[in-house]
A and B are shown apart, each in its own frame.
Chain A
Amino acid sequence: ETGVTQSPTHLIKTRGQQVTLRCSSQSGHNTVSWYQQALGQGPQFIFQYYREEENGRGNFPPRFSGLQFPNYSSELNVNALELDDSALYLCASSPKTSGGRNTGELFFGEGSRLTVL
Chain B
Amino acid sequence: DQQVKQNSPSLSVQEGRISILNCDYTNSMFDYFLWYKKYPAEGPTFLISISSIKDKNEDGRFTVFLNKSAKHLSLHIVPSQPGDSAVYFCAASGPNSGNQFYFGTGTSLTVIP
Contact = CB atoms under 8 A, between A and B. Distances in A.
Chain B: interface size category: 20 to 34
Given A105-B46, A107-B46, A45 B41 contact: no
A108 B95 CA distance: 22
Contacts of A92: 43
Contacts of A111: 43
A41 interface: yes
A106 B44 CA distance: 9
B70 to A, nearest CB: 21
B89 A106 contact: no
Given A42-B89, A42-B104, A109 B43 contact: yes
B103 interface: yes
B105 A42 contact: yes
A44 B105 CA distance: 10
Contacts of A110: 41-43
13 contacts: A42-B4, A44-B103, A45-B100, A48-B100, A55-B99, A56-B100, A57-B98, A90-B43, A102-B93, A102-B99, A106-B34, A108-B43, A109-B43
Interface of B: 4, 6, 32, 34, 36, 41-46, 49, 51, 89, 91, 93, 95, 97-106
Interface of A: 4, 33, 35, 40-45, 48, 55-58, 90, 92, 101-103, 105-111
